Amino acid sequence: MIKTVNTNSMKTKAILLVMLFAFTLGGKTFAQADNKCFELGSLFIEPAKAKNYETALQHYDQVVKECPTYSMATYQYAVKMFEHFIENGDKSKIADLEQAYKYRIQYYPSKTKEGDVLSDIAQIKYDNSIGTKMEQFKAFDDAFKKDPENFTSPKSIYTYFSLAVDLQSTGEMDVQNVFDLYDVVTEKIEKEESELAVKLTKLTDMQDAGEKLTGRDEKRLSGYETNLGSYGKVKGSVDGKLGKLADCPNLIPLYNKDFDAKKDDIDWIKRAAGRLSGKDCTNDPLFIKLVKQLDRLAPSADTKLYLGQLEKEKGNSAQAISYFEESAGMQSDPRKSARIYYRIAEEKRQNGQSGQARTYYMKAVEYQPSMGRAYLKIANMYAASANNCGNTVFEKRAIYWKAAEMAEKAARVDGSIAGNARATASSYRERAPQKSDIFDAGMGGKTISFNCWVGGSVRVPNL
Protein backbone atom coordinates (compact mmCIF):
# COMPACT_ATOMS: atom_id res chain seq x y z
CA MET A 1 0.00 0.00 0.00
CA ILE A 2 1.40 3.36 -1.01
CA LYS A 3 1.22 6.10 1.71
CA THR A 4 0.11 9.53 0.60
CA VAL A 5 2.35 12.37 1.85
CA ASN A 6 0.46 15.35 3.23
CA THR A 7 2.54 18.23 1.85
CA ASN A 8 0.46 20.89 3.62
CA SER A 9 1.17 19.28 6.98
CA MET A 10 4.88 19.14 6.28
CA LYS A 11 4.95 22.80 5.29
CA THR A 12 3.13 23.79 8.45
CA LYS A 13 5.61 21.87 10.60
CA ALA A 14 8.52 23.49 8.81
CA ILE A 15 7.12 26.96 9.39
CA LEU A 16 6.54 26.23 13.08
CA LEU A 17 10.11 24.99 13.46
CA VAL A 18 11.47 28.16 11.85
CA MET A 19 9.28 30.35 14.10
CA LEU A 20 10.35 28.43 17.20
CA PHE A 21 14.00 28.79 16.27
CA ALA A 22 13.62 32.51 15.63
CA PHE A 23 11.71 33.01 18.90
CA THR A 24 14.41 31.14 20.80
CA LEU A 25 17.13 33.29 19.29
CA GLY A 26 15.08 36.46 19.90
CA GLY A 27 14.38 35.48 23.48
CA LYS A 28 18.07 35.00 24.07
CA THR A 29 18.75 38.39 22.51
CA PHE A 30 16.16 40.12 24.73
CA ALA A 31 17.41 38.28 27.79
CA GLN A 32 20.97 39.25 26.97
CA ALA A 33 19.92 42.89 26.59
CA ASP A 34 18.08 42.79 29.92
CA ASN A 35 21.07 41.20 31.64
CA LYS A 36 23.45 43.73 30.16
CA CYS A 37 21.31 46.69 31.33
CA PHE A 38 20.93 45.11 34.74
CA GLU A 39 24.69 44.80 35.06
CA LEU A 40 25.38 48.32 33.78
CA GLY A 41 22.59 49.78 35.91
CA SER A 42 23.91 48.04 39.02
CA LEU A 43 27.44 49.30 38.37
CA PHE A 44 26.09 52.85 38.60
CA ILE A 45 23.12 52.64 40.99
CA GLU A 46 24.68 50.51 43.75
CA PRO A 47 27.67 52.82 44.46
CA ALA A 48 25.39 55.86 44.00
CA LYS A 49 23.07 54.45 46.69
CA ALA A 50 26.08 54.21 48.99
CA LYS A 51 27.04 57.80 48.06
CA ASN A 52 30.26 56.51 46.48
CA TYR A 53 29.82 59.04 43.69
CA GLU A 54 33.36 58.90 42.31
CA THR A 55 32.87 55.23 41.44
CA ALA A 56 29.30 55.71 40.23
CA LEU A 57 30.34 58.49 37.86
CA GLN A 58 32.63 56.14 35.97
CA HIS A 59 29.63 54.08 34.80
CA TYR A 60 26.97 56.77 34.37
CA ASP A 61 27.63 57.72 30.73
CA GLN A 62 27.57 54.10 29.58
CA VAL A 63 24.25 53.40 31.33
CA VAL A 64 22.64 56.46 29.75
CA LYS A 65 24.10 55.66 26.32
CA GLU A 66 23.26 51.95 26.15
CA CYS A 67 20.29 51.59 28.54
CA PRO A 68 18.60 55.02 28.85
CA THR A 69 15.23 53.51 29.84
CA TYR A 70 16.56 50.84 32.19
CA SER A 71 15.29 52.57 35.35
CA MET A 72 14.12 55.98 36.51
CA ALA A 73 16.46 55.43 39.48
CA THR A 74 19.33 56.12 37.07
CA TYR A 75 18.30 59.76 36.82
CA GLN A 76 17.19 60.10 40.44
CA TYR A 77 20.64 59.04 41.64
CA ALA A 78 22.32 61.04 38.88
CA VAL A 79 20.71 64.21 40.24
CA LYS A 80 21.95 63.45 43.76
CA MET A 81 25.41 62.64 42.42
CA PHE A 82 25.81 65.82 40.39
CA GLU A 83 24.36 67.93 43.22
CA HIS A 84 27.05 66.43 45.49
CA PHE A 85 29.82 67.46 43.11
CA ILE A 86 28.34 70.95 42.66
CA GLU A 87 27.98 71.48 46.41
CA ASN A 88 31.65 70.56 46.74
CA GLY A 89 32.69 73.24 44.27
CA ASP A 90 32.65 71.52 40.87
CA LYS A 91 30.45 73.88 38.86
CA SER A 92 31.29 72.02 35.65
CA LYS A 93 28.74 69.42 36.75
CA ILE A 94 25.85 71.90 36.51
CA ALA A 95 25.46 71.14 32.80
CA ASP A 96 25.49 67.40 33.58
CA LEU A 97 22.84 67.90 36.26
CA GLU A 98 20.64 69.82 33.85
CA GLN A 99 21.02 67.05 31.26
CA ALA A 100 20.13 64.37 33.82
CA TYR A 101 16.92 66.26 34.60
CA LYS A 102 16.16 66.53 30.87
CA TYR A 103 16.69 62.80 30.40
CA ARG A 104 14.18 62.12 33.14
CA ILE A 105 11.63 64.42 31.48
CA GLN A 106 12.32 62.72 28.13
CA TYR A 107 12.17 59.10 29.25
CA TYR A 108 9.77 59.29 32.22
CA PRO A 109 7.43 62.22 31.49
CA SER A 110 4.43 60.70 33.27
CA LYS A 111 6.48 60.23 36.46
CA THR A 112 8.13 63.65 36.38
CA LYS A 113 6.76 67.00 37.56
CA GLU A 114 8.15 69.34 34.95
CA GLY A 115 7.58 72.54 36.93
CA ASP A 116 9.42 71.08 39.90
CA VAL A 117 12.35 69.88 37.77
CA LEU A 118 12.73 73.05 35.72
CA SER A 119 12.54 75.30 38.79
CA ASP A 120 15.23 73.16 40.45
CA ILE A 121 17.49 73.64 37.43
CA ALA A 122 16.84 77.39 37.47
CA GLN A 123 17.53 77.60 41.21
CA ILE A 124 20.83 75.74 40.94
CA LYS A 125 21.98 78.05 38.13
CA TYR A 126 20.97 81.07 40.21
CA ASP A 127 22.69 79.77 43.35
CA ASN A 128 25.88 79.27 41.35
CA SER A 129 25.70 82.60 39.46
CA ILE A 130 25.33 80.95 36.05
CA GLY A 131 24.14 83.40 33.38
CA THR A 132 22.87 86.97 33.55
CA LYS A 133 20.02 88.00 35.83
CA MET A 134 17.73 88.16 32.81
CA GLU A 135 18.73 84.64 31.74
CA GLN A 136 18.15 83.41 35.28
CA PHE A 137 14.74 85.10 35.40
CA LYS A 138 13.73 83.60 32.05
CA ALA A 139 14.62 80.13 33.33
CA PHE A 140 12.23 80.54 36.29
CA ASP A 141 9.63 82.20 34.08
CA ASP A 142 9.77 79.30 31.61
CA ALA A 143 9.41 76.76 34.44
CA PHE A 144 6.42 78.56 35.93
CA LYS A 145 4.61 79.07 32.63
CA LYS A 146 5.15 75.48 31.49
CA ASP A 147 3.87 73.89 34.69
CA PRO A 148 2.63 76.34 37.35
CA GLU A 149 0.84 73.56 39.24
CA ASN A 150 4.13 71.86 40.13
CA PHE A 151 6.22 74.99 40.61
CA THR A 152 5.87 74.79 44.39
CA SER A 153 9.31 75.40 45.94
CA PRO A 154 8.97 78.38 48.33
CA LYS A 155 12.63 79.26 47.73
CA SER A 156 12.22 79.25 43.95
CA ILE A 157 9.01 81.28 44.10
CA TYR A 158 10.86 83.97 46.03
CA THR A 159 13.90 83.89 43.73
CA TYR A 160 11.64 84.19 40.68
CA PHE A 161 10.02 87.35 42.04
CA SER A 162 13.21 88.77 43.53
CA LEU A 163 14.93 88.64 40.13
CA ALA A 164 12.04 90.60 38.58
CA VAL A 165 12.45 93.40 41.15
CA ASP A 166 16.21 93.44 40.59
CA LEU A 167 15.69 93.70 36.82
CA GLN A 168 13.26 96.59 37.29
CA SER A 169 15.83 98.45 39.38
CA THR A 170 18.33 98.26 36.49
CA GLY A 171 15.77 99.32 33.90
CA GLU A 172 15.49 95.88 32.28
CA MET A 173 11.88 95.27 33.31
CA ASP A 174 8.83 97.50 33.37
CA VAL A 175 7.41 98.24 36.82
CA GLN A 176 3.94 97.14 35.70
CA ASN A 177 5.33 93.69 34.85
CA VAL A 178 6.72 93.48 38.38
CA PHE A 179 3.31 94.35 39.84
CA ASP A 180 1.63 91.77 37.61
CA LEU A 181 4.10 89.09 38.69
CA TYR A 182 3.57 90.05 42.33
CA ASP A 183 -0.15 89.31 41.91
CA VAL A 184 0.60 85.96 40.26
CA VAL A 185 3.16 84.92 42.88
CA THR A 186 1.01 86.01 45.83
CA GLU A 187 -1.95 84.09 44.44
CA LYS A 188 0.24 81.01 44.01
CA ILE A 189 1.53 81.20 47.59
CA GLU A 190 -1.95 81.65 49.03
CA LYS A 191 -3.29 78.76 46.94
CA GLU A 192 -0.58 76.44 48.27
CA GLU A 193 -1.18 77.69 51.83
CA SER A 194 -4.93 77.09 51.60
CA GLU A 195 -4.51 73.56 50.27
CA LEU A 196 -2.02 72.71 53.00
CA ALA A 197 -4.20 74.29 55.69
CA VAL A 198 -7.20 72.19 54.64
CA LYS A 199 -5.11 69.01 54.94
CA LEU A 200 -3.63 70.13 58.26
CA THR A 201 -6.99 71.12 59.72
CA LYS A 202 -8.43 67.71 58.89
CA LEU A 203 -5.68 66.04 60.94
CA THR A 204 -5.80 68.53 63.84
CA ASP A 205 -9.58 68.10 64.02
CA MET A 206 -9.00 64.35 64.37
CA GLN A 207 -6.57 65.06 67.21
CA ASP A 208 -8.99 67.46 68.89
CA ALA A 209 -11.66 64.76 68.73
CA GLY A 210 -9.33 62.45 70.68
CA GLU A 211 -8.45 60.23 67.71
CA LYS A 212 -4.88 58.90 67.69
CA LEU A 213 -3.02 59.64 64.47
CA THR A 214 -1.10 56.94 62.67
CA GLY A 215 2.66 57.34 62.27
CA ARG A 216 2.09 58.23 58.63
CA ASP A 217 -0.46 60.91 59.52
CA GLU A 218 1.85 62.37 62.17
CA LYS A 219 4.58 62.64 59.56
CA ARG A 220 2.16 64.34 57.18
CA LEU A 221 1.04 66.74 59.90
CA SER A 222 4.63 67.73 60.60
CA GLY A 223 5.26 68.21 56.89
CA TYR A 224 2.19 70.39 56.44
CA GLU A 225 3.22 72.60 59.37
CA THR A 226 6.78 72.93 58.05
CA ASN A 227 5.64 73.83 54.55
CA LEU A 228 3.07 76.31 55.83
CA GLY A 229 5.83 77.95 57.83
CA SER A 230 8.01 78.18 54.73
CA TYR A 231 5.26 79.72 52.63
CA GLY A 232 4.49 82.20 55.40
CA LYS A 233 8.09 83.35 55.48
CA VAL A 234 8.28 83.60 51.69
CA LYS A 235 5.10 85.67 51.55
CA GLY A 236 6.63 88.15 53.98
CA SER A 237 9.87 88.18 51.98
CA VAL A 238 8.01 88.84 48.73
CA ASP A 239 6.21 91.80 50.31
CA GLY A 240 9.50 93.06 51.71
CA LYS A 241 11.22 92.73 48.33
CA LEU A 242 8.50 94.75 46.64
CA GLY A 243 9.01 97.36 49.37
CA LYS A 244 8.63 100.99 48.48
CA LEU A 245 8.18 100.15 44.80
CA ALA A 246 4.46 99.60 45.48
CA ASP A 247 3.87 102.48 47.89
CA CYS A 248 1.30 105.18 47.16
CA PRO A 249 3.88 107.83 46.12
CA ASN A 250 5.04 105.51 43.31
CA LEU A 251 1.71 103.97 42.35
CA ILE A 252 -0.34 107.14 42.02
CA PRO A 253 1.92 108.94 39.49
CA LEU A 254 2.28 105.68 37.51
CA TYR A 255 -1.46 105.15 37.14
CA ASN A 256 -2.25 108.84 36.69
CA LYS A 257 0.19 108.95 33.80
CA ASP A 258 -1.47 106.03 32.01
CA PHE A 259 -5.12 106.70 32.90
CA ASP A 260 -6.24 108.50 29.73
CA ALA A 261 -4.63 105.91 27.48
CA LYS A 262 -5.91 102.94 29.51
CA LYS A 263 -9.29 104.18 30.78
CA ASP A 264 -11.24 101.80 28.51
CA ASP A 265 -9.04 98.80 29.35
CA ILE A 266 -11.07 96.95 31.97
CA ASP A 267 -8.19 94.72 33.07
CA TRP A 268 -5.89 97.69 33.57
CA ILE A 269 -8.54 99.63 35.53
CA LYS A 270 -9.12 96.58 37.75
CA ARG A 271 -5.42 96.10 38.45
CA ALA A 272 -4.86 99.78 39.15
CA ALA A 273 -7.85 100.06 41.49
CA GLY A 274 -6.90 96.79 43.18
CA ARG A 275 -3.33 97.91 43.73
CA LEU A 276 -4.36 101.27 45.21
CA SER A 277 -6.94 99.54 47.39
CA GLY A 278 -4.43 96.98 48.63
CA LYS A 279 -1.98 99.70 49.61
CA ASP A 280 -4.64 101.94 51.22
CA CYS A 281 -4.18 104.69 48.64
CA THR A 282 -7.93 105.27 48.70
CA ASN A 283 -7.83 108.91 49.77
CA ASP A 284 -6.38 110.03 46.46
CA PRO A 285 -8.81 111.39 43.81
CA LEU A 286 -7.33 108.88 41.35
CA PHE A 287 -8.86 106.00 43.29
CA ILE A 288 -12.34 107.56 43.11
CA LYS A 289 -11.84 108.16 39.39
CA LEU A 290 -10.82 104.55 38.84
CA VAL A 291 -13.76 103.16 40.81
CA LYS A 292 -16.31 105.26 38.96
CA GLN A 293 -14.81 104.31 35.61
CA LEU A 294 -14.76 100.64 36.53
CA ASP A 295 -18.37 100.76 37.67
CA ARG A 296 -19.31 102.25 34.30
CA LEU A 297 -17.40 99.64 32.32
CA ALA A 298 -18.19 96.53 34.33
CA PRO A 299 -20.15 96.61 37.58
CA SER A 300 -18.84 93.69 39.64
CA ALA A 301 -17.78 92.34 42.99
CA ASP A 302 -14.74 94.59 42.82
CA THR A 303 -16.74 97.74 42.21
CA LYS A 304 -18.90 96.91 45.24
CA LEU A 305 -15.74 96.51 47.28
CA TYR A 306 -14.36 99.85 46.18
CA LEU A 307 -17.67 101.60 46.74
CA GLY A 308 -17.60 100.15 50.24
CA GLN A 309 -14.15 101.60 50.78
CA LEU A 310 -15.33 105.00 49.67
CA GLU A 311 -18.27 104.84 52.08
CA LYS A 312 -15.92 103.85 54.87
CA GLU A 313 -13.70 106.83 54.10
CA LYS A 314 -16.78 109.03 54.47
CA GLY A 315 -17.53 107.46 57.85
CA ASN A 316 -20.63 105.57 56.65
CA SER A 317 -19.82 102.26 58.37
CA ALA A 318 -23.21 100.55 57.89
CA GLN A 319 -23.32 101.37 54.17
CA ALA A 320 -19.68 100.31 53.77
CA ILE A 321 -20.39 96.91 55.37
CA SER A 322 -23.41 96.44 53.13
CA TYR A 323 -21.23 96.97 50.04
CA PHE A 324 -18.52 94.69 51.46
CA GLU A 325 -20.98 91.84 52.08
CA GLU A 326 -22.38 92.23 48.60
CA SER A 327 -18.87 92.12 47.16
CA ALA A 328 -17.86 89.05 49.18
CA GLY A 329 -20.89 87.15 47.94
CA MET A 330 -20.10 88.00 44.32
CA GLN A 331 -16.40 87.08 44.34
CA SER A 332 -15.26 84.06 42.32
CA ASP A 333 -11.92 83.85 44.15
CA PRO A 334 -12.43 82.49 47.71
CA ARG A 335 -9.29 84.28 48.93
CA LYS A 336 -10.79 87.63 47.98
CA SER A 337 -14.00 86.72 49.80
CA ALA A 338 -11.91 85.79 52.85
CA ARG A 339 -10.13 89.14 52.88
CA ILE A 340 -13.43 91.01 52.62
CA TYR A 341 -15.04 89.02 55.44
CA TYR A 342 -11.94 89.72 57.54
CA ARG A 343 -12.34 93.41 56.83
CA ILE A 344 -15.98 93.29 57.93
CA ALA A 345 -14.94 91.40 61.08
CA GLU A 346 -12.43 94.13 61.87
CA GLU A 347 -15.09 96.77 61.45
CA LYS A 348 -17.42 94.88 63.81
CA ARG A 349 -14.66 94.30 66.36
CA GLN A 350 -13.67 97.95 66.40
CA ASN A 351 -17.33 98.82 67.00
CA GLY A 352 -17.43 96.48 70.02
CA GLN A 353 -19.63 93.87 68.30
CA SER A 354 -17.54 90.87 69.34
CA GLY A 355 -20.06 88.13 68.53
CA GLN A 356 -20.66 89.43 65.02
CA ALA A 357 -16.93 89.97 64.55
CA ARG A 358 -16.26 86.31 65.37
CA THR A 359 -18.91 85.23 62.86
CA TYR A 360 -17.15 87.14 60.09
CA TYR A 361 -13.65 86.01 61.16
CA MET A 362 -14.87 82.42 60.91
CA LYS A 363 -16.39 83.12 57.50
CA ALA A 364 -12.99 84.40 56.43
CA VAL A 365 -11.38 81.14 57.58
CA GLU A 366 -14.06 79.16 55.78
CA TYR A 367 -12.99 80.75 52.51
CA GLN A 368 -9.25 80.75 53.30
CA PRO A 369 -8.34 78.06 55.85
CA SER A 370 -4.76 79.34 56.19
CA MET A 371 -5.84 82.77 57.46
CA GLY A 372 -4.39 82.31 60.92
CA ARG A 373 -4.71 85.98 61.83
CA ALA A 374 -8.50 85.52 61.98
CA TYR A 375 -8.11 82.83 64.66
CA LEU A 376 -5.65 85.05 66.52
CA LYS A 377 -8.11 87.96 66.54
CA ILE A 378 -10.77 85.68 68.02
CA ALA A 379 -8.29 84.51 70.66
CA ASN A 380 -7.56 88.10 71.61
CA MET A 381 -11.27 88.91 71.84
CA TYR A 382 -11.80 85.90 74.12
CA ALA A 383 -9.00 87.04 76.40
CA ALA A 384 -10.31 90.61 76.46
CA SER A 385 -13.70 89.30 77.66
CA ALA A 386 -12.35 87.46 80.71
CA ASN A 387 -13.99 89.78 83.25
CA ASN A 388 -17.39 89.42 81.58
CA CYS A 389 -17.47 85.65 81.16
CA GLY A 390 -17.89 83.98 84.54
CA ASN A 391 -19.28 84.34 88.02
CA THR A 392 -16.13 83.49 89.95
CA VAL A 393 -12.50 84.47 89.52
CA PHE A 394 -11.74 80.86 88.51
CA GLU A 395 -14.42 80.87 85.81
CA LYS A 396 -13.28 84.24 84.50
CA ARG A 397 -9.67 83.07 84.22
CA ALA A 398 -10.80 79.82 82.54
CA ILE A 399 -11.57 81.82 79.39
CA TYR A 400 -7.80 82.03 78.83
CA TRP A 401 -7.70 78.29 78.07
CA LYS A 402 -10.18 78.86 75.29
CA ALA A 403 -8.17 81.84 74.05
CA ALA A 404 -4.97 79.77 74.08
CA GLU A 405 -6.60 77.01 72.03
CA MET A 406 -7.61 79.50 69.36
CA ALA A 407 -4.15 81.13 69.30
CA GLU A 408 -2.54 77.71 68.92
CA LYS A 409 -4.82 76.98 65.98
CA ALA A 410 -3.66 80.22 64.36
CA ALA A 411 -0.04 79.08 64.71
CA ARG A 412 -0.70 75.71 63.13
CA VAL A 413 -2.40 76.95 59.97
CA ASP A 414 -0.36 80.08 59.26
CA GLY A 415 3.42 79.96 59.31
CA SER A 416 3.75 83.70 58.78
CA ILE A 417 2.41 84.40 62.30
CA ALA A 418 3.29 81.12 64.02
CA GLY A 419 5.88 82.59 66.36
CA ASN A 420 3.66 85.39 67.57
CA ALA A 421 0.62 83.11 67.85
CA ARG A 422 2.46 80.51 69.94
CA ALA A 423 3.84 83.21 72.22
CA THR A 424 0.30 84.54 72.61
CA ALA A 425 -1.03 81.05 73.43
CA SER A 426 1.69 80.58 76.04
CA SER A 427 0.86 83.95 77.60
CA TYR A 428 -2.82 83.07 77.86
CA ARG A 429 -2.08 79.68 79.47
CA GLU A 430 -0.05 81.47 82.10
CA ARG A 431 -3.08 83.65 82.90
CA ALA A 432 -5.40 80.63 83.14
CA PRO A 433 -5.82 78.81 86.47
CA GLN A 434 -2.68 76.90 87.45
CA LYS A 435 -2.47 73.50 89.17
CA SER A 436 -2.71 74.99 92.67
CA ASP A 437 -5.81 76.99 91.65
CA ILE A 438 -7.45 73.89 90.19
CA PHE A 439 -6.68 71.91 93.34
CA ASP A 440 -7.97 74.61 95.70
CA ALA A 441 -11.19 75.01 93.70
CA GLY A 442 -11.68 71.27 93.29
CA MET A 443 -12.30 71.75 89.58
CA GLY A 444 -9.99 69.12 88.06
CA GLY A 445 -11.64 67.43 85.04
CA LYS A 446 -14.83 69.49 85.29
CA THR A 447 -16.42 71.43 82.44
CA ILE A 448 -17.00 75.19 82.57
CA SER A 449 -19.63 76.69 80.27
CA PHE A 450 -19.54 80.33 79.23
CA ASN A 451 -22.82 82.25 79.25
CA CYS A 452 -21.41 85.42 77.67
CA TRP A 453 -21.05 86.09 73.94
CA VAL A 454 -18.12 83.61 73.79
CA GLY A 455 -20.37 80.62 74.48
CA GLY A 456 -19.17 77.04 74.43
CA SER A 457 -17.15 75.49 77.23
CA VAL A 458 -13.71 74.28 78.32
CA ARG A 459 -12.68 71.17 80.20
CA VAL A 460 -10.45 71.90 83.19
CA PRO A 461 -7.23 69.82 83.08
CA ASN A 462 -7.06 66.84 85.41
CA LEU A 463 -4.40 67.04 88.10
Share above pLDDT 70 across residues of the chain, in percent, rounded to a whole number:
93
Q: What is the mean pLDDT of residues 320-345?
A: 93
Residue 73: per-residue pLDDT? 94
Residue 295: per-residue pLDDT? 84
Is residue 148 over pLDDT 80?
A: yes
Q: What is the mean pLDDT of residues 358-375?
A: 96
Report the C-alpha gap between 389 and 189 in whole angstroms: 39
Rounded to the nearest integer, the mean pLDDT of the chain is 88
Is residue 146 over pLDDT 70?
A: yes
Among the residue ranges 269-278, 363-372, 385-394, 439-448, the one predicted with the least confidence is: 269-278
Phi/psi at 2 (5° precision) = -90, 125
What is the tens place of the pLDDT at every residue in 335-344? 999 999 999 9
Residue 288: per-residue pLDDT? 85
Q: Is 243 left (phi over 0), alpha (psi -120 to 50) or beta?
A: left
Residue 432: per-residue pLDDT? 95
Residue 97: per-residue pLDDT? 93
- Within 88-174, residue ranges assigned H as helices are 93-107, 114-127, 133-146, 154-169
Q: What is the DSSP letter of 109?
A: G
What is the tens place of the pLDDT at every residue in 400-419? 999 999 999 999 999 889 99
Report the C-alpha gap between 23 and 193 in whole angstroms: 57
* Structure confidence at residue 368 as a pLDDT band (50, 70, 90): very high
Among the residue ranges 12-16, 74-78, 179-183, 261-265, the one predicted with the least confidence is: 12-16
* Structure confidence at residue 383 as a pLDDT band (50, 70, 90): very high
Report the C-alpha gap between 90 and 440 in whole angstroms: 68
pLDDT higher at 408 or 315? 408
Residue 51: per-residue pLDDT? 94
* Structure confidence at residue 274 as a pLDDT band (50, 70, 90): confident
User: How many angstroms separate the first and last alpha carbons of the chain?
Assistant: 111
Residue 14: per-residue pLDDT? 45
Report the C-alpha gap between 141 and 128 in whole angstroms: 18
Residue 315: per-residue pLDDT? 86
What is the tens place of the pLDDT at every residue in 205-259? 998 888 899 999 999 999 999 999 999 999 889 988 988 788 888 889 889 988 9
Phi/psi at 175 (5° precision) = -60, -35
* Structure confidence at residue 354 as a pLDDT band (50, 70, 90): very high
Nearest to 93 by CA among 104, 82, 102: 82
Q: What is the mean pLDDT of residues 94-119?
A: 93
Residue 106: per-residue pLDDT? 93
Domains assigned to the chain: 245-430 (1.25.40.10)
Is residue 9 over pLDDT 60?
A: no
Taking only Cα atoms into account, the Rg of the chain, rounded to an integer number of angstroms, comes to: 32
Nearest to 196 by CA among 224, 234, 233, 231: 224
Share above pLDDT 90 across residues of the chain, in percent, rounded to a whole number:
68
Cα–Cα separations (whole angstroms), residue 14 to 21, 23, 219: 11, 14, 64
Residue 1: per-residue pLDDT? 42
Among the residue ranges 13-27, 75-89, 374-388, 398-412, the one predicted with the least confidence is: 13-27
**CB-based contact 310:288 (threshold 8 Å):** yes
What is the tens place of the pLDDT at every residue in 164-219? 999 999 999 988 899 889 989 988 999 999 999 999 999 999 988 888 999 999 99
- The predicted model scores a pTM of 0.62
